[in-house]
Amino acid sequence: MDKPIKSAGESAEEIIAWAKDHEMETCFDRAEKQKPCPIGESGACCKVCHMGPCRLVGKNAEEEATGVCGATLSTVAARNMLRMIAAGTAAHSDHARDMALTLLAVANEEVSDFKIKDVKKLYRVAGILEVEFEGRPVLDVARDVATLFVEDFGRQKGAINYAIKRAPEKTRKRWEKWGIVPRGVDREVVEALHRTNIGVDHDPDHLLTHGLKVALADGWGGSMISTDITDILFGTPAPVKAEASFGIFKEDEVNLIVHGHEPTLAEVIVDTVGEPEMIEYAKSKGAKGINLGGMCCTANEILMRHGIPTAGGFTNQELGIMTGLIDVMTVDVQCIMPAIATLSKKFHTKVITTSEKAKMQGAEHIEYDEHRAKEVAIKIIKTACDNFPNRTTKGSHITKKSTLIGGFSEEYIAYMQGGKWRASFRPLNDAIIAGRIRGVVGLAGCDNPRVPSTGIHKFIATELIKNDVLIVSTGCGSAACGTAGYLTPEMALENAGPGLREVCEAIGIPPILHLGACVDNSRILTIVTAMAKEGGLSDEIAGMPAVGIAPEWMSEKALAIGAYFAASGVPCIFGGESPVGASEEVTKIMTDVWFERFMGTLEFEPDPEKMLERALNYIDAARENLKLRKYEPGKFGTERVLMDMAARREITPHAGVGGINESEG
Ligand code: XCC
* Rounded (10°) angle between helices 73-107 and 556-568: 90
Our mutation pick for probing the ligand 1 site, out of 555, 564, 565, 574, counting the most ligand atoms within 8 A of Cβ, is: 555
Do 605 and 548 form a contact (C-beta atoms < 8 A)? no
Cα 179 → chain centroid: 27
pLDDT given for residue 208 in this prediction: 98
From atom 8 of ligand 1, which residue's Cα is the shortest distance away?
296
Looking at residue 422, its pLDDT comes to 85
269-278, 489-498, 602-611: segment of lowest average pLDDT: 489-498
Q: Residue 55: is its pLDDT beyond 80?
A: yes
Q: Which atom of ligand 1 is nearest to the CA of 555?
A: 7
Distances (CA, A) of 477 to 86, 297, 329, 461, 484: 22, 11, 22, 9, 11
| Helix, strand or coil, per DSSP, at residue 600 | coil
**pLDDT-derived band at 665, boundaries 50, 70, 90:** very low
CB-CB contact of 203 with 71 (8 Å): no
In 287-349 the beta strands, taken as DSSP E runs, fall at 290-295, 328-331
Q: Which residues line ligand 1 (CB under 6 A)?
A: 261, 296-297, 313-314, 335, 445-446, 475-476, 517-518, 555, 557
Q: Give the pLDDT band of residue 251 (cuts 50, 70, 90).
A: very high
pLDDT value of position 662: 45
Ligand 1 centroid to Cα of residue 479, in Å, is 10
CA distance 89 to 94: 8
Q: At residue 353, what are phi and psi to the nearest 5 degrees?
A: -90, 145
Q: Residue 421: its pLDDT value, please?
A: 80
- Per-residue b or e along 526-545, where b marks 16 or more CB atoms closer than 10 Å to that residue's CB: bbbbbbbebeebbbbbbbbb
Cα gap 376→368, rounded to integer Å: 6
The alpha carbon of 515 and the centre of ligand 1 are apart by a number of angstroms equal to 14
Q: What is the band of 643 on the pLDDT scale with cuts at 50, 70, 90?
A: very low
Listing DSSP states for 610-659 in one string gives: HHHHHHHHHHHHHHHHTTPPPP-TTSS--S-----HHHHHHHS-S-TT--
Strand ranges inside 445-554, DSSP E: 469-474, 512-516, 546-550
402-406 β-sheet, strand order: 402-406, 240-244, 661-662
User: At 453, phi and psi to the nearest 5?
Assistant: -60, 145
Which of 446, 450, 478, 554 gets mutated to test ligand 1 (max ligand atoms within 8 A of its CB)? 446
For 144, half-sphere exposure in the C-beta direction (CA atoms, 13 angstrom radius) is 16
Atom of ligand 1 nearest to the CA of 561: 9
Please tell me the residue having the least CA distance from ligand 1 atom 3.
Answer: 446
Residue 493 class from Cβ within 10 Å (0-12 exposed, 13-18 middle, 19+ buried)?
Answer: buried
Burial class (CB in 10 A: 0-12, 13-18, 19+), 403: middle
Preceding omega of 427 cis (within 30 degrees of 0): no
CA of 603 relative to ligand 1 center, distance in Å? 19
Give me the mean pLDDT over the 539-547 stretch.
98
**CB atoms inside a 10 Å sphere around CB 197:** 12
What is the pLDDT confidence band of residue 638, given thresholds at 50, 70 and 90?
A: low
Collect all residues with Cβ–Cβ distance below 8 Å to 469 and sequence separation of at least 6.
437, 438, 439, 440, 441, 500, 615, 616, 619
Residue 636 has a pLDDT of 83
What pLDDT was estimated at residue 265?
A: 98
CB 449 within 8 A of CB 426: no
185 band by pLDDT with thresholds 50, 70 and 90: very high
Position 637 scores a pLDDT of 66
The ligand 1 atom at the shortest distance from the C-alpha of residue 444 is 5
pLDDT tens digit string along 40-52? 999 999 999 999 9
pTM of the model: 0.95
Mean pLDDT of the chain: 94
Which of 340, 456, 478, 557 is the best mutation target for the ligand 1 pocket, counting ligand atoms within 8 Å of the beta carbon and taking the most?
Answer: 557
pLDDT of residue 664: 35
* 635: pLDDT strictly greater than 90: no
Which pLDDT score is estimated for 660? 45
Q: Decide: 257 and 322 in contact? Cβ < 8 Å.
A: no
**Residue 473 to residue 515: CA distance in whole angstroms:** 6
Distances (CA, A) of 374 to 102, 276, 329: 14, 15, 18
- Please name the residue ranges forming H helices in 350-444: 373-387, 410-416, 426-434
Answer yes or no: are the C-beta atoms of 510 and 492 closer than 8 Å. yes
- From 262, 314, 521, 565, give the residue whose CB has the most ligand 1 atoms within 8 Å, as the site to mutate: 314
C-beta separation of 9 from 18 below 8 A: no
CA distance 366 to 189: 30
- The SS3 call for residue 220 is helix
* pLDDT at position 21 over 80: yes
Q: Above 90 in pLDDT, residue 4? A: no
Taking the C-alpha atoms of residue 102 and residue 371, their distance in angstroms, rounded to an integer, is: 9
Rg (CA), the chain: 24
The residue nearest atom 1 of ligand 1, judged by CA position, is: 335
Beta-bridge partners for 282: none
Residue 518 DSSP one-character state = G
Query: In this predicted model, what pLDDT tens digit does every residue of 342-386 receive, in sequence order?
Result: 999 999 999 999 999 999 999 999 999 999 999 999 999 999 999
- The candidate with the shortest Cα–Cα distance to 49, out of 196, 181, 175, 191, is 196
Instruction: Tell me, in angstroms, the distance from the centre of ligand 1 to residue 518's CA.
Output: 6
Query: What mean pLDDT comes out for the span 535-542?
Result: 97
Burial of 202 (0-12, 13-18, 19+ CB in 10 A): middle
Q: Considering only residues 393 and 258, tell me which one the structure prediction assigns the higher pLDDT.
A: 258
The full 3-state SS of 547-594, as one line of letters, equals EEEECCCCCHHHHHHHHHHHHHCCEEEECCCCCCCCCHHHHHHHHHHH
pLDDT tens figures, 92-151: 999 999 999 999 999 999 999 999 999 999 999 999 999 999 999 999 999 999 999 999
| Ligand 1 atom 6 nearest Cα | 446
Amino acid identity, residue 102?
A: T
Q: Do 555 and 259 meet the contact criterion of CB atoms below 8 Å apart?
A: no
